[in-house]
Amino acid sequence: MMLAQFLPEQASEFAPQIDFLYLLLVALTAFFTLGIKAVIIYFIVKYRQGKKADRSNPQHHHTKLELTWTILPTLMLVPIFWWNAELFINMYEPLDVSKARNSLEIYVVGKQWMWHLQHPTGQRENNELHIPVGRPIKLTMIAQDVLHSFYVPAFRVKKDVVPGRYTTQWFVPTKVGKYHLFCAEYCGTKHSEMGGYVYVMEPEDYEKWLEDARWGMGNFRSAETMEAAGKRLFTELKCVDCHGEKATQRVPLDGIYGTERLLSDGRRVVADDEYLRRSILDPGAMKVAGHEPIMPPYAGRVLEQEILELITYIKSLSAKPEPVGKPAAEASEARGTE
Amino acid sequence: MSTETQEHDPLLAHQFEDVEQQTDSYVLGMWVFLVTEVLFFGGMILAFILYRNMYFPAFAEAHQKLDWRLGGVNTIVLLTSSFTMAMAVWASQKRDYGKQLMFLTITVLCALAFLVIKYFEYSAKFEHHLVPGTNFHFDGQNQNGVQLFFGLYFALTGLHGFHVLVGVLVIGVLMFRVWKLRKQEQDYVPTELVGLYWHFVDIVWIFLYPMLYLLGGVHI
Amino acid sequence: MHGHISSPATFIKTFIILLILMAVTVLVATKDLGWLNTPIAMAIAICKTAFVVLFFMGLKYSSRLSQVWAGVGLLFFIILIGLTIPDYLTRHDLPGWSE
Amino acid sequence: MSAVAEPKTEKNYLNVDYSIKSWLTTLDHKRIGILYLVAITIFFMVGGFMALLIRTELATPQGDLLSSDQYNRAFTMHGVVLIFFFLLPSTPAVLGNFLLPIMIGARDVAFPKLNLASWYAFMIGGTLGVISLVLGGIDTGWTFYAPYSSNFSNTPVVWAIAGAFVAGFGNIATAVNFIVTIHKMRAPGLTWFRLPLFVWAQYATAVIGVLGTPVIAITIFLVAFERLTGMGIFDPARGGDPILMQHLFWFYSHPAVYIMILPAMGVTSEMIAAASQKRVFGYEFVAFSSLAIAIIGFLVWGHHLFVSGQSVFAGLVFSVLTFIVAIPSAIKTFNWVATMYKGNLQMNTPMFWAVAFLGLFLIGGLTGLFLSSLATDIHLHDTYFVVAHFHYIMVGGAIIGFIGGLHFWWPKITGRMYPESWGKAGAIMVFTGFSLTFLPQFVLGQLGMPRRYHTYPEEFQILHVLSTGGAYLLGFAMTTIIVYLAWSAKYGKPAPPNPWKAKGLEWETPSPPPTENFTYKVVVTEPAYNYHKDSGGHH
């Protein structure tokens, strides 16, 4: 019970693991702090000026002792580093791919001073996030203006939300409830008001919420999935003129997601969300070898959430046909030898 | 006080015991100062390396907007000034103040020539709207990268140019001093220190020239 | 040690070498050597710097202390670059997600 | 003035000339140290006032005292003023300037004019900082993170940056001066391993100053440049990378923490040796750990970027390196404690401060492990845990070390003793007030309270109220100390040359020292802290 007051609620798979490490470090800190302070007080009492004490043969150095208190703490730090590293990697680049595959992907746009969140099925929320319990959640996040940081203490997760670049984080909520959502990176006047709540729900409640949210927000676009919205934008922004199926001299986007692309400057880049985003905004910087540099930069012409919708659509073009790995690799191979 | 019991050398400042200690201190101080300068430029060079990698096509395109011939002339000018500066230090050590003044004059003239050429380069960039900011204009796909290149170009060459300007002033003061004291025996250390600084300014340009003018390839 | 006076001949030789290197770096830049252009240009710049530092600045004859400090400057510049660049090289490396 | 008969004939650095002009044009390192002391005390009071404003606001969850903009400016100016204009110059520029030449038996630093120029650079920088304050204060946080600082903030950011930039060159000049002084100006016989540990710490500090400061100078220069011209070096909207700004910023600003703490560690070594009447245990280990901290300290900056979007691989590398830098601090701590073993402990005021330093620095250092650990850092990053951690280092370590050193050398600096019982009471009050302010903040951080928040959820209020109460006690204690020290500089009991029976060259010259520091030629024939062989001194 005492402990509970010093720890926030544990509502994700990470929480108990991080708390274990935290408490281990607390124990270590307490041991050294109290131990050394006890020794200091003991010395002060024993060797205080005027007190009778054995002060013969005072030593000034002792190499073995020095080595002991150098090497022992070093050794102690090795397992601590190890446990931490494992957790850290799992949080940002999960080694367990199966979990990552089956995750629910939520898109986060941070702006002064609110969080804008979108579910793949199209539902949008501001400063509130509804998620089902027990399912891995992947957040793909970007900021529209300055740095922000998406922080949910009960999940023990935090990652900066950076303008110009996607950052991701991943967690599995384990406990139904309502938890604080904070912005942890200073972002200006209303930094402390940039937050809200995360609601972890039973899966069936979540399904019900999705249904309500779809029709209940009074926003017809909520009825659209992200993919559909992306497809609509694809036409509205004239992407179809060159990338659409009917385009003359078509540059197809089918199947490119996740493949390696050879750029005109000789670099190889995996076509991930980040790559697609940059290709839309600043095509010159991401020019693929063998293509004419005719695509106009879209920087300043699309909103961050629209880019996310476009990316979802482009991804869907890759999800349909055959197993992704093989032909894609061959395709990039072919481009490489061009 | 112990200093007064020693014979008082007019070239020796009160805090030092002897001229050797004084000379060593000044030279070491200058080297340590130059280390800070290395890191001062180093921060920007790091930014240049990273952005060049991120926006390689844009940087290659932007390189072409610079005139490698003007940059080359400036390199030769600065190398020459570095050489005459080294000679000035030599003359100073030989206590040949006439030669020293001559070499310093050439050095200053080279420095001024460098600044004049730089001025022409800058004004061409202003004319072509290649100065980052609201007036920046560049046709083509790579606006962001090109603007970054010119941002770094102006920051790097601007700071370097500032160092050249400071060099001109310092050498000017040194020349005045040497001329004023030409009848007396002088300490060569001030000249050596100015020389170290000036060679450092030259080294910065030795890196800036290929980085900014050449790495996109040049066409004769 | 200090007090060493280099002869003008050394300076003239150094100056000529620097001019030659300058010509070489321009010549190399006219040829497209692919990825080799950058390392060659930088290697030449480092050579030129070495000549300026060792002879014009007389580091070759300076005290050990000045030599150490010059080395420290170089070392920390390398640390600055060497620990920042790996971050950029590994930024897009997101194995779990890119599948 | 006291009526106690002081030999009027004895000239010292204080009574050679009383005119203001003689102070403002002085080349005497001791007087320059005093100039710094006066200047940074003023900045300390400004920054401390900001701290009390912040804490008062945070006593309630609502933002009722300050508006959110005012609050943001208050905490930014608190950080900018205290870091750039108080902590960075504190121990090096005040105690270092005053003591370093005396401790190595020199008449002055190597470049006295440069030394005075450093002070003027500092004052110009400080003035620019004050101008930014008068213009309304800036709201970027002391870290100046782009793109907020470069493109979004509507406050006079460029003034504050110019201030930090110019003051930075003052720091560089001081550092160059100290490095050359330590290398070249040591008295005959004073080999490196006979140097007091305070000098080693100053050397390590100066190395950091020389290598790091130019990088932050160029970084904030680029931020200002971007603000003024609209070019986008760190602005993602124009293709720049804001994380590069953080890399460059922390390349200096992490080692800068060691600029603050290393000299305080040096002070602690001196105080513990003198109070224990013993040679510092493991002298070589303590000396080398200063250098190790200075050098390894440059390899760890990325731990500020674990959650900022830096790559996972870089995070792993920086975490390992950060764990390594913890070791030399641990070595120092163990050696200080071992120094007390079989000592003859005088429990005087400096020792009170040294013990306070040890107690708080231990916690500060060990809580650093929570933040260098990758996983726990994710949760604690940018929360009050971090705020508490670095205040333990900067206040519990650096400022307490500085104030302790000020007491220890006060007799030497002013020629007068401070009131002993007030000194002890001051140490106890600072320790209590500080702990009350910042211990609750560790808990707040672990509970998830983010930093730089103007308003907060109600469940955090109890801990915030405790913290605010502690801050008032701390403020009262600091005020008391400033008052009694200032009082004693004029009315205190005259001090003997060596009130602590300490070893070290500074204790062999009169208090206050004469302008030339020594009236005889200094030759050193014995190791540092030679408490056990009663040799005839240094004549």
Q: Are D278 and D529 in contact (CB under 8 A)?
A: yes
**Interface membership of A147 toward D (CB under 8 Å):** yes
**Interface membership of D70 toward A (CB under 8 Å):** no
Chains that touch B (3 or more CB pairs under 8 A): A, C, D
What confidence score (pLDDT) does residue D533 get? 64
**Interface membership of D212 toward B (CB under 8 Å):** yes
Of A270 and D40, more confident: D40
| DSSP one-letter code for D505 | G
B148-167 residues touching C, CB cutoff 8 A: none
Report whether pLDDT(A331) > 60. no
Task: Suggest the residue from A287, A291, A295 to mutate for an interface test with chain B (most B CBs closer than 10 A).
Answer: A287
Report whether pLDDT(A330) > 90. no
What confidence score (pLDDT) does residue A254 get? 82
pLDDT category of residue B143 using cuts at 50, 70 and 90: confident
For D184, residues 6+ apart whose C-beta sits below 8 A from its C-beta are B21, B24, B25, B28, D110
Among B48-62, B158-172, D152-166, which is the least confidently predicted range?
B48-62
CATH number of the domain located at residue range(s) D23-507 in this protein: 1.20.210.10
Q: How big is the A-C interface in CB pairs under 8 Å? A: 33
Residues in chain C predicted with pLDDT less than 70, given as ranges, are: 1-3, 92-99
What confidence score (pLDDT) does residue A222 get? 57
Examine the predicted complex and report whether its ipTM is higher than 0.85. Answer: yes
Mean local confidence (pLDDT), A122-131: 89
Smallest Cβ–Cβ distance between B46 and the set C11, C55, C84 belongs to C84
pLDDT category of residue B8 using cuts at 50, 70 and 90: low
- 3-state SS, chain A, equals CHHHHHCCCCCECHHHHHHHHHHHHHHHHHHHHHHHHHHHHHHHHHCECCCCCCCCCCCCCCHHHHHHHHHHHHHHHHHHHHHHHHHHHHHHCCCCHHHHHCCEEEEEEEECCEEEEECCCCCEEECEEEEECCCCEEEEEEECCCCEEEEEHHHCEEEEECECCCEEEEECECCCEEEEEEECCCCCCCHHHCCEEEEEECHHHHHHHHHHHHHHCCCHHHHCCHHHHHHHHHHHCCCHHHHCCCCCCCCCCCCCCCCEEEECCCCEEECCHHHHHHHHHCHHHHCECCCCCCCCCCCCCCCHHHHHHHHHHHHHHHHCCCCCHHHHHHHHHHHHHC
Apex B38 CA angle, B34 and B39, nearest 5 = 120
| DSSP one-letter code for C36 | G
pLDDT tens, residue by residue, A159-192: 999 998 889 888 999 999 999 999 999 999 999 9
Give percent of chain B above pLDDT 90: 59
C19 chain-B contacts, CB cut-off 8 A: 76, 79
Nearest to D86 by CA among D342, D259, D332: D259
**Interface membership of B46 toward C (CB under 8 Å):** yes
- CB neighbour burial string for A163-174, b if at least 16 within 10 angstroms, e if fewer: bbbbbbbbbbbb
Average pLDDT of chain B is 88
D215-234 residues touching C, CB cutoff 8 A: 215
pLDDT tens, residue by residue, D89-105: 999 999 999 999 999 99
Task: Suggest the residue from D203, D207, D310, D311 to mutate for an interface test with chain C (most C CBs closer than 10 A).
Answer: D311
* Chain C: residue whose CA lies nearest to A102: C97
- Please give the Cα distance from D481 to D478 (Å, whole number): 5
Q: Are D376 and A21 in contact (CB under 8 A)?
A: yes
pLDDT category of residue D1 using cuts at 50, 70 and 90: very low
Task: Suggest the residue from C97, C98, C99 to mutate for an interface test with chain A (most A CBs closer than 10 A).
Answer: C97
Mean local confidence (pLDDT), D107-136: 94
pLDDT tens, residue by residue, D323-341: 999 999 999 999 999 999 9
Domain ranges across chain D? 23-507
SS3 D494: strand
pLDDT tens, residue by residue, D75-90: 999 999 999 999 999 9
Q: Do residue B155 and residue D233 have CB atoms under 8 angstroms apart?
A: yes
**Interface membership of B49 toward D (CB under 8 Å):** no
SS3 D101: helix
pLDDT tens, residue by residue, D175-199: 999 999 999 999 999 999 999 999 9
**Single-letter amino acid, residue A34:** L
- 3-state SS, D261-281, equals HHHHHHHHHHHHHHHHCCCCC
- Please give the Cα distance from A262 to A265 (Å, whole number): 8
Nearest to D209 by CA among D173, D159, D249: D173
- 3-state SS, B38-58, equals HHHHHHHHHHHHHHHHHCHHH
B93 chain-C contacts, CB cut-off 8 A: 5
Q: Are A18 and D375 in contact (CB under 8 A)?
A: yes
**Interface membership of B54 toward A (CB under 8 Å):** yes
Give percent of chain C above pLDDT 90: 55
Apex D30 CA angle, D418 and D121, nearest 5 = 115
C4-43 residues touching B, CB cutoff 8 A: 5-8, 11-12, 14-15, 18-19, 22, 25-26, 29-30, 32, 37-38, 41-42
Among B7-11, C22-26, D66-70, which is the least confidently predicted range?
B7-11
Mean local confidence (pLDDT), B198-215: 93
Among A81-85, A126-130, A254-258, D299-303, which is the least confidently predicted range?
A254-258
Q: Do residue B53 and residue C45 have CB atoms under 8 angstroms apart?
A: no
B136 chain-A contacts, CB cut-off 8 A: none
What confidence score (pLDDT) does residue A306 get? 87
Mean local confidence (pLDDT), B190-210: 95
Nearest to C48 by CA among C38, C56, C36, C37: C56
Give percent of chain C above pLDDT 70: 89
User: Bridge-partner residues for D126, per DSSP?
Assistant: none
What confidence score (pLDDT) does residue C92 get? 61
What confidence score (pLDDT) does residue D536 get? 38
Q: Are B216 and B56 in contact (CB under 8 A)?
A: no
Mean local confidence (pLDDT), D498-521: 91
What confidence score (pLDDT) does residue B15 get? 85
Q: Do residue C83 and residue D211 have CB atoms under 8 angstroms apart?
A: no
pLDDT tens, residue by residue, A13-41: 999 999 999 999 999 999 999 999 999 99
pLDDT category of residue A100 using cuts at 50, 70 and 90: low
What confidence score (pLDDT) does residue B60 get? 85
What confidence score (pLDDT) does residue A143 get? 93
What confidence score (pLDDT) does residue B220 get? 62
Domains in chain A (CATH in brackets) are 1-34+63-94+103-219 (2.60.40.420), 226-337 (1.10.760.10)
Nearest to B198 by CA among B71, B106, B97: B106
Q: Chain centroid to CA B184: how far?
A: 30
Report whether pLDDT(A333) > 50. no
pLDDT tens, residue by residue, A219-229: 545 567 888 88
How distant, in Å, are the alpha carbons of B88, B124, D262 from that of D293?
A: 42, 49, 8
Average pLDDT of chain D is 92
What confidence score (pLDDT) does residue A338 get? 31
Of D280 and A283, more confident: D280
Q: Do residue B39 and residue D215 have CB atoms under 8 angstroms apart?
A: yes
What confidence score (pLDDT) does residue D440 get? 94
Chains that touch D (3 or more CB pairs under 8 A): A, B, C
Burial grade of A326 (CB within 10 A; 0-12, 13-18, 19 or more): exposed
SS3 D154: coil
Which tokens sit at D235? 């602005």
Smallest Cβ–Cβ distance between B214 and the set C12, C29, C73 belongs to C29
What confidence score (pLDDT) does residue A147 get? 94
Q: Do residue C97 and residue A93 have CB atoms under 8 angstroms apart?
A: yes
Average pLDDT of chain A is 83
pLDDT tens, residue by residue, D328-386: 999 999 999 999 998 889 999 999 999 999 999 999 999 999 999 999 999 999 999 99
What confidence score (pLDDT) does residue A97 get? 67
Q: Are B182 and B72 in contact (CB under 8 A)?
A: no
pLDDT tens, residue by residue, D139-161: 999 999 989 998 898 899 999 99
HSE on the CB side for B117, CA within 13 Å? Answer: 21
pLDDT category of residue A276 using cuts at 50, 70 and 90: confident
D210 chain-B contacts, CB cut-off 8 A: 32, 35-36
What confidence score (pLDDT) does residue D511 get? 87
pLDDT category of residue A7 using cuts at 50, 70 and 90: confident
Nearest to D81 by CA among D121, D23, D41, D31: D41
Among A219-223, D200-204, D223-227, which is the least confidently predicted range?
A219-223
A293 chain-B contacts, CB cut-off 8 A: 140-141
pLDDT category of residue A212 using cuts at 50, 70 and 90: confident
**Interface membership of A272 toward C (CB under 8 Å):** yes
Note the helical H segments in chain B: 2-5, 19-54, 56-63, 68-93, 97-127, 143-180, 189-208
pLDDT tens, residue by residue, C65-86: 999 999 999 999 999 999 999 8
What confidence score (pLDDT) does residue D61 get? 93
Nearest to A140 by CA among A325, A326, A332, A308: A308
Report whether pLDDT(D297) > 70. yes
**Interface membership of A46 toward C (CB under 8 Å):** no
Domains in chain B (CATH in brackets) are 18-214 (1.20.120.80)
